[in-house]
């Protein structure tokens, strides 16, 4: 008994400590540091009202991301950047319509309206996005036969964009993912960031979703399973 009691006490103390620290972390929020980066995913004309593949309320992320940017030393922007006639476009597959799926060499691909074609105004960043501190823009989906929701890896899971290497060489350990759309490019970027060894937060109110056939709930579940943390912009301390 004299041996067991201290062990039980120790467990109780450790458990209480864990509870207290997790509560404290939530109450105090999270504070980005020099090893943190904000990633603004695909805040482009194509994905907002008036664009070729509008996400409902997509433009509403702009002021949220602009405000968040003040808390970050390091900012990465991504752009969906397709060739004309890209494999992810329904128009490239006779008889297919947008939002249907097709089997491509690397797996099932959702087919989209033509969107974010390289060099077009549709593919430009939203005019009100103000991220002058941003240090790199990663363009993705530029191989004609391969889509890339993720800012880290193309959909064939073979071609890398270079973002993981960039972040690692810059000493970044934690990424905070925002932008469009929650259940596609944000989710894939967040999960691949975990795969490449980063701590990952998705700032929910700085994203908007497409929610195609339950894709939003599925994405949150998959992200949670991979250790992606879901927070709100009010949780970020500047």
Binding of Zn ion by 42 (CB under 5 A) = no
Nearer Cβ to Zn ion (80/235): 80
Catalytic residue among 114, 116, 183, 185: 185
**Nearest to Zn ion of 142, 166 (CB atom):** 142
How far apart CA 116 and CA 168 sit, in angstroms, is 28
Q: Is 46 a catalytic residue?
A: no
Query: Minimum distance from CB of 47 to Zn ion (Å)?
Result: 9
- Footprint of Zn ion on 137-166 (CB under 5 A): 141
Residue 89 C-beta: closest distance to Zn ion, Å: 9
Q: Is 80 in the site for Zn ion (CB under 5 A)?
A: yes
Kindly tell me which of 32 and 51 has the beta carbon lying closer to Zn ion: 51
Site for Zn ion, residues 6 to 25, rule: CB under 5 A: none
Among the residue ranges 21-29, 101-109, 135-143, 214-222, the one whose residues contact Zn ion (CB under 5 A): 135-143
Q: What positions carry a catalytic annotation?
A: 42, 140, 185
């Amino acid at each position: 008994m004299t041996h067991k009691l201290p062990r039980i006490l120790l467990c109780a103390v450790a458990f209480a400590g864990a509870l207290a620290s997790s509560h404290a972390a939530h109450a105090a929020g999270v504070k980005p540091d020099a090893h943190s980066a904000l990633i603004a995913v695909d805040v482009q004309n194509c994905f907002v009202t008036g664009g070729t593949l509008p996400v409902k309320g997509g433009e509403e992320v702009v002021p949220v991301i602009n405000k968040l940017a003040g808390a970050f030393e390091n900012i990465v922007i991504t752009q969906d950047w397709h060739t004309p006639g890209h494999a992810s476009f329904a128009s490239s597959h006779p008889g297919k319509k947008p939002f249907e799926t097709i089997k491509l060499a690397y797996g099932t691909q959702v087919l989209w309206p033509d969107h974010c074609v390289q060099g077009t105004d549709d593919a430009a960043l939203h005019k009100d996005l103000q991220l002058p501190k941003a240090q790199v823009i990663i363009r993705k989906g530029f191989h004609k036969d391969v889509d890339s929701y993720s800012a880290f890896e193309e959909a064939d899971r073979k071609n890398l964009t270079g973002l993981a290497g960039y972040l690692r060489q810059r000493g970044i350990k934690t990424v905070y993912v925002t932008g469009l759309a929650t259940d596609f490019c944000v989710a894939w970027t967040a999960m691949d960031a975990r795969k490449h060894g980063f701590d990952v937060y998705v700032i929910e109110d700085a994203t908007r979703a497409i929610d195609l056939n339950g894709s939003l709930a599925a994405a949150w579940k998959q992200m949670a399973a991979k250790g992606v943390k879901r927070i709100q912009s009010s949780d970020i301390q500047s």
